[in-house]
Amino acid sequence: MTNDSAPTTQPTYYQEVERKGYSRRDFIGFVTMMAAFMGLDKSAIGQVVKAMETKPRIPVIWLHFQECTCCSESFIRSSHPIVADILLDKISLDYTETLMAASGFQAEASLKNTMEKYKGEYILCVEGSVPTGADGVYCMIGGKTSMQILEEAAAGAKAIIAWGSCASNGCVQSAKPNPTNATPIHKLLKTSVPLIKVPGCPPIGEVMAGVIVHLVTFGKIPELDRLGRPKAFYSKRVHDSCYRRPYYDAGLFVETFDDESAKKGYCLYKVGCKGPSTYNACGVMKWNNGTSYPIQSGHPCIGCSEENYWDNGRLYDRASAFAGFGIEANADTLGKAALIGTGVAIAAHAIATNVRKHKLIFNLEKEGKQSEKELES
Amino acid sequence: MANKLLHIHRLRRVYVWELPVRIYHWVNALVIVALIATGFYIADPLALQSQREATDKFTMGWVRYVHFAAAYIFFFNFIFRIYWGFVGNKYANWRQFIPISKKFFKEMWYVFRMDILMLKGKEHMSIGHNAMAGFIYFLTFLAYLVQCLTGFGLYAGMSSWWLPKLFAWVPAMFGGDILTRQIHHWSMWFFILFAVIHVYLVFYHDYVEGRGEMSSMGGGWKFIEEEVFERNHHQTPNPEPKKTTPETITPNPDKPLPENVTTK
């Protein structure tokens, strides 16, 4: 924000840690936790420590578009206080609409300054989708459309992080009929700046911190999967790390939310759990300081980090509605109808065959009977 | 009493479906049934209210195991059939399935008129697949492809073998597993509908032609009237012409077919 006098050289993360009054022990604890989350080897902890001690903090511009700010909320409620205090506080120093003190012209000036001063060095974090409908008027800040702001900020960024499902996939505001034409940022940006998608509604705070720590430590973006998500956090399905998985394999399922199976804590697959289709770290990291996560609370995973989860399926049903055939029709309903239709058509065809091709069949039979008779004699 | 007008046909035995084709067919039939049955269970498992501990049971695990094992057999069987489409006999050849000539379309239209619209006229007699059947089988091959792509795509994330991992791009293309799974499920219905119609049409052809359609997938033989054989033989003296259409006999107005195949 409005730092006293913008320092010419940025302080390192560790300097900030010390300045905020954290002990060395707190700091090492934080680094160890982050390294574990990132799936790093124990030997890499020293590397992370060194990076945090020596590397100046990365300037960050954090843009908010069409979203609910749950990503920021998730981040600042990350389990370790250093995450919020140092990473967010310090990285978001430059510009973030939600948390900065500056407003109006001052805020816009801050954004402009950061973009100019740290051209090619800053990390651009984007929270929210960009509504492109009606020339982008649905989301405008300081007289500019979100698309304009995004394009300007993306041009000079070192890397772009798409926080949450809005920026990564479009999330609920891009659900049909998508009146504002909300669009995830990777579909809009034409720059060669690397983009990291951190989907989830919201993403887990520790995952967000882990991505930032990785960028700081290694100076490059983490290894990404085919959909552009960091492999360290999105390579496994929620299903694979689910503590209820044994019930799934055993074939023991909750049928309704108030049945005996629900009380026993059986698998939530049949009440619509999207865990088997959702790639996220919820089962391992959990939420709110590792307290719980939806499945642990008896609620199926809704697949919030998956593209189109809002349109692709019902929340409490494995089968999805079949568009254009009413909300109750799923693939199996249609399949059964088609099967009945086929059966009727076959019956009609069989009858028609015996009528229309009567002579043909009659001759065949006659021929066969004749041969049979000749054999007798 | 021998009816002078009744023509007793001499039938000529033709080896249509070679042993590899027959093995392919029945393996395919078996694994598709297994895949559909297990697939339905996986999509919507039965309600098992058991008092036993989960450790004693592995119901879903076994069903999934059967599904995946059958999927591998299905996949390699499919690959084998494609290979056989290049080295097998003329009835197994890939040209039987892909409409690439005008003649193919003409025959399809003819089969449609005779077998579906039931118009009066000369019966269409084919030795291998008729053009319509060939084309439908081509569509099933496309459906196989869809199922292999989506199925192994979904499986890729759980596998450590390189083969399923080759399909990891498929869910990525559809934006994730949710849609991929649904496409996999929807496509299954094509197989069910196909199987029903396929079995019916085998009965139908056996019934109206009496040439061993039904048993052909057992022993490989189909039977063809001597006159038809001769006629066809004279039409294509060279057994390996640059033909691009199925080996079929289209009605020739100059030379009427034997009586029993006319519907007049």
Residue B194 to residue B143: CA distance in whole angstroms: 11
The 10s digit of each residue's pLDDT in A135-185 is: 888 888 878 888 888 888 888 888 899 999 999 988 888 888 888 988 999
> How far does chain A reach from its first CA to its final CA, in angstroms?
111
Domain presence at residue B51: no
Residue A44 in this model has a pLDDT that exceeds 90: no
Domain presence at residue B4: no
Cβ neighbours of residue A87 closer than 8 Å, sequence gap 6 or more: A13, A209, A212, A213
Lowest mean pLDDT among A196-200, A318-322, B30-34: A318-322
The 10s digit of each residue's pLDDT in B75-114 is: 999 999 999 989 988 888 888 888 888 888 888 888 888 8
Pick the residue with more confidence: B227 or A277?
A: A277
* Option in B9, B169, B262 nearest A226 (CB): B169
User: Which tokens in the block code for residue B242?
Assistant: 């640059």
**Which secondary-structure segment (H or E) carries A183?**
strand A182-183
Domain presence at residue B52: no
Cβ neighbours of residue B12 closer than 8 Å, sequence gap 6 or more: B223, B224, B225, B226, B229
Mean pLDDT of A341-355: 89
Task: Identify the domain containing residue B39 by its residue range.
Answer: 11-45+57-261
Mean pLDDT of A319-337: 72
- pLDDT at residue B259, as a whole number: 46
A227 touches chain B (CB under 8 A): yes
Size of interface A-B (CB pairs under 8 A): 164
> Does the CA dihedral A239-A277-A178-A62 come out positive or negative?
positive
Residue A123 to residue A109: CA distance in whole angstroms: 18
- pLDDT at residue A21, as a whole number: 82
In the structure, what pLDDT confidence band is assigned to residue B21 with cuts at 50, 70 and 90? very high
Is residue A186 within 8 A of residue A197, CB to CB? The reply is yes
Residue A307 to residue A134: CA distance in whole angstroms: 24
Q: Could you tell me the CATH number of the domain that includes residue B203?
A: 1.20.950.20
CB within 8 Å: A346 and B197 = yes
The 10s digit of each residue's pLDDT in A101-117 is: 767 777 788 788 888 88
Minimum distance, in Å, between the CA of residue B130 and any CA atom of chain A: 18
CB within 8 Å: A308 and B45 = no
What pTM does this model have? 0.82
Residue A215 in this model has a pLDDT that exceeds 70: yes
* B:150-169 residues touching chain A, CB 8 A cutoff: 157-158, 168-169
Mean pLDDT of A322-333: 69
| Cβ-Cβ contacts under 8 Å, B7 against chain A | 367
Mean pLDDT of A80-97: 63
Domain presence at residue B2: no
Question: Number of structural domains, chain B?
Answer: 1
Pick the residue with more confidence: B220 or A106?
A: B220
The 10s digit of each residue's pLDDT in B22-32 is: 999 999 999 99
| Cβ-Cβ contacts under 8 Å, B45 against chain A | 251, 253, 269-270
Residue B160 in this model has a pLDDT that exceeds 80: yes
User: Which tokens in the block code for residue B103?
Assistant: 């003649």
Instruction: Count CA atoms closer than 13 A to B112's CA, side-chain side.
Output: 10
User: Which tokens in the block code for residue A77?
Assistant: 């409620």
- pLDDT at residue A341, as a whole number: 92
Superfamily for the A13-234 domain: NADH:ubiquinone oxidoreductase-like, 20kDa subunit (3.40.50.700)
DSSP state of B237: -
The 10s digit of each residue's pLDDT in B179-194 is: 888 889 889 999 999 9
> Given this chain, do its domains A13-234 and A240-312 carry the same CATH topology?
no
- pLDDT at residue B242, as a whole number: 45
Domain boundaries along the sequence of chain A = 13-234, 240-312, 325-356
CA B258 and chain centroid, separation: 29
DSSP for A152-169, please give it: HHHHT-SEEEEEHHHHHH
- pLDDT at residue A136, as a whole number: 81
Superfamily for the A240-312 domain: Cytochrome-c3 hydrogenase, C-terminal domain (4.10.480.10)
